[in-house]
Amino acid sequence: MKLVRETTDWSQSPYPVKNHDYMVSPAMEFCFAMRKQGSDKWEKFSTRRRFSKSWRKFEVLDEKKPKEFVEPYMTNPWKNKTYNSLETFFE
């Protein structure tokens, strides 16, 4: 695994785009975690995700791999209780 920071210049974009940090496989094919720009907390994904580096620029970070992660920004759908879920029915 390696840690990379996106350095793509988005100045030509009509809307603001932030560059984040990523924990990726050595060949940069898969992403396992990310750290949003301006944050110091890493978010680990529940499964690896495909990672595209096309049209983007990156630099390798000289940091130790994180040992602590926060809950990902996307909630786990299996933990949600909705009106049609069996968990709610059997409570």
CA 69/CA 17 separation, integer angstroms:
24
Question: What type of residue sits at position 64?
Answer: K
Domain of residue 63 covers 2-90
One DSSP character per residue, 2-55 reads EEEEE----TTSSS-----EEEE-TTS-EEEEEE-TT----EEEEEEEE---TT
pLDDT at 47: 86
Number of domains the chain is built from: 1
pLDDT at 71: 72
CA 4/CA 23 separation, integer angstroms:
7
pLDDT at 50: 95
Residue-wise pLDDT for 8-57, tens only, equals 999 999 999 999 999 999 999 999 999 999 999 999 988 899 999 999 99
Buried b (16+ CB within 10 A) or exposed e, 60-83: eeeeeebeeeeeeeeeeeeeeeee
Residue 66 pLDDT > 70, yes or no? yes
Residue 88 pLDDT > 60, yes or no? no
